[in-house]
């Protein structure tokens, strides 16, 4: 059975973002972005107070406060995704993206023996668009999944985004849970009858057989930055500019800081970014997958331990100086996939990273595009589909900058050559998926 034909073109989704919008993988900060809005934001006041009280803070602490401070954090109170927001992501560009990921999960489920139940867990689900597209594929392949007990588990810190996710998935406003002690802060049922729960932390998601998804999640986790100096590695800190009292600046720590232990002994770069929180999440995922089975699919822009200074900000589809008007712009750093693989500590097999264009092509995006194009004569929809395809696949756009990494139990690859190039392994996995008969 060909999944793409079965998932068919029964539904062509409404027009998504009008391109071009800005996707965050592309740009690097020059450090000289115009400080076009130097307003003293509540977050800036909070940070200045904090620095005055305890001294300069690490970039990781700065990033964490600016993005996810419960009261003033960038992610907490507004919707930043899409034309009206600050940046665009793949699921917001084309329905094909989520549909093909949905097929990847189903084929992993089949290949691993069609467990009677699974949890689909998404980290940082944005507007819920990716899950909506995945669930549509699940519905269309209902005959395959009809005896499988599926539940959704969303790990989200943003109240605003969790409200949007609830509307997308359940078409209802879902109230906050009354029991403040419960790790589940919202609970609902999707349009297709699947139970969905929201958590603030992956640790709280039940440790059951699960498929995990993290798309543009790891890049928002806080990074520590280090500069090599004649005196050894020194951590980059954020301090108040002595010349301008309501302005922040970068300084180097005068001596070694604890986070320096994260730097590899054989590091050859002169500037590095490390994300210990990403390591904690990967260790948790690896532990869970090795104990209960399932798989994780991680997609993000990143590198394999080669890039140096990738910390940057986005606002209104433009690069934004990271220290200006904090709390009003997104902050991000490229994901170091070599670090993620290292942090899995051999508990699971890590496949990839491979480039987005390779992953999507192996999953059958060309066939899917043709099916969707054949379904509509509407010129604007056809143009939208073609533009979306180009944005996702073009090497000059998202095709090469975004990468996919899969974590699977070692047994899942039993009988295969574990040492084979991870690139080939993930390719074989995906090619197999399109030809598997249920």
Ligand X SMILES: C[S@@+](CC[C@H](N)C(=O)[O-])C[C@H]1O[C@@H](n2cnc3c(N)ncnc32)[C@H](O)[C@@H]1O
Q: Nearest approach, Cβ of 200 to ligand X (angstroms)?
A: 7
Nearer to ligand X, 177 or 260 (CB): 177
Report the side by side order of strands in the sheet with 312-315.
318-320, 312-315, 330-332
Q: Nearest approach, Cβ of 346 to ligand X (angstroms)?
A: 26
Q: Which residue is nearest to ligand X (CB)?
A: 124
Q: At what angle do helices 95-111 and 365-375 cross, to 10 degrees?
A: 130
Nearer to ligand X, 79 or 177 (CB): 79
CA torsion angle 81 86 89 91 (round to 10): 20
Q: Nearest approach, Cβ of 70 to ligand X (angstroms)?
A: 11
Nearer to ligand X, 13 or 112 (CB): 13
**x/- contact string, 215-234, with ligand X (CB under 6 A)?**
xxx--x--------------
Taking CB under 6 A as the rule, does residue 157 contact ligand X? Answer: yes
Are 3 and 103 within 8 A, CB to CB? yes
Nearer to ligand X, 220 or 351 (CB): 220
Taking CB under 6 A as the rule, does residue 102 contact ligand X? Answer: no
Of residues 36-75, those binding ligand X (CB under 6 A):
68, 75
Per rule CB under 6 A, count of chain residues that contact ligand X? 19
Q: Nearest approach, Cβ of 147 to ligand X (angstroms)?
A: 30
Nearer to ligand X, 56 or 85 (CB): 85
Q: Radius of gyration (Cα) for the chain, nearest Å?
A: 22
Instruction: Classify 55 in phi/psi space as left (phi over 0), alpha (psi -120 to 50) or beta.
Output: left
Alpha-carbon gap, residue 6 to 203, rounded angstroms: 36
Alpha-carbon gap, residue 401 to 300, rounded angstroms: 8
Taking CB under 6 A as the rule, does residue 126 contact ligand X? Answer: yes
What single DSSP character describes residue 260? G
Nearer to ligand X, 161 or 422 (CB): 161
Q: Nearest approach, Cβ of 314 to ligand X (angstroms)?
A: 10
Burial class (CB in 10 A: 0-12, 13-18, 19+), 295: buried
Are 326 and 44 within 8 A, CB to CB? yes
Taking CB under 6 A as the rule, does residue 184 contact ligand X? Answer: no
Are 409 and 416 within 8 A, CB to CB? no
Tell which one of 94, 107, 139, 158 touches ligand X (CB under 6 A): 158
Q: Which residue has the tokens 């934001």?
A: 41
Which alpha helices (DSSP H) does 302-418 contain, by range? 337-343, 356-362, 365-375, 379-393, 398-401
Nearer to ligand X, 120 or 161 (CB): 161
Tell which one of 4, 51, 66, 81 touches ligand X (CB under 6 A): 81
Binding residues vs ligand X (CB under 6 A): 68, 75, 81, 89, 91-92, 124-126, 130, 155-158, 161, 215-217, 220
């Amino acid at each position: 059975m060909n999944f793409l034909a079965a998932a068919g073109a029964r539904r062509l989704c409404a027009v998504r973002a009008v391109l071009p919008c800005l996707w965050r993988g592309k740009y690097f900060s020059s450090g000289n972005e115009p400080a076009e809005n130097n307003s003293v934001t509540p977050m800036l006041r909070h940070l200045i107070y904090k620095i005055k009280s305890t001294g300069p803070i690490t970039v990781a602490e700065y990033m964490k406060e600016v993005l996810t401070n419960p009261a003033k954090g960038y992610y907490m109170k507004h919707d930043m995704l899409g034309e009206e927001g600050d940046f665009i992501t793949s699921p917001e560009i084309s329905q094909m993206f989520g549909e093909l990921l949905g097929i990847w999960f189903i084929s992993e489920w089949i290949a691993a023996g069609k467990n009677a139940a699974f949890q689909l867990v998404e980290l940082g689900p944005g507007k819920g668009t990716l899950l909506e597209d995945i669930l549509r594929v699940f519905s269309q392949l209902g005959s395959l999944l009809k005896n499988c007990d599926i539940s959704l588990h969303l790990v989200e810190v943003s109240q605003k985004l969790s409200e949007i996710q609830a509307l997308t998935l359940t078409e209802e406003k879902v109230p906050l849970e009354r029991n403040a002690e419960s790790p589940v802060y919202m609970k609902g049922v999707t349009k297709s009858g699947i139970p969905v729960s929201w958590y603030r932390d992956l640790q709280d998601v039940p440790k059951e057989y699960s498929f995990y998804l993290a798309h543009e999640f790891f890049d928002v986790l806080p990074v520590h930055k280090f500069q090599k100096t004649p005196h050894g590695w020194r951590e980059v800190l954020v301090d108040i500019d002595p010349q301008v009292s309501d302005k922040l600046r970068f300084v180097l720590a005068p001596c070694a800081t604890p986070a320096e232990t994260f730097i590899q002994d054989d590091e050859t770069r002169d500037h590095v970014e490390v994300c210990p929180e990403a390591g904690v999440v990967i260790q948790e995922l690896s532990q869970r997958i090795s104990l209960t089975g399932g798989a994780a699919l991680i997609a993000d822009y990143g590198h394999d331990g080669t890039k140096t200074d990738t910390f940057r900000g986005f606002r209104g589809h433009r690069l934004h100086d990271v220290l200006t008007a904090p709390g009003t712009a997104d902050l991000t750093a490229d994901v170091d996939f070599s670090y993620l693989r290292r942090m899995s500590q051999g508990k699971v097999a890590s496949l990839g990273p491979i480039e987005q264009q390779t992953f999507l092509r192996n999953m059958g995006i060309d066939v899917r595009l043709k099916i969707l194009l054949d379904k509509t004569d509407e010129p604007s929809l056809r143009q939208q589909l073609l533009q979306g395809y180009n944005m996702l696949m073009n090497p000059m756009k998202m095709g090469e900058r975004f990468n996919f990494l899969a974590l699977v139990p070692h047994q899942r690859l039993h009988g295969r050559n574990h040492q084979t190039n991870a690139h080939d392994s993930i390719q074989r996995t995906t090619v197999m998926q399109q030809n598997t008969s249920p």
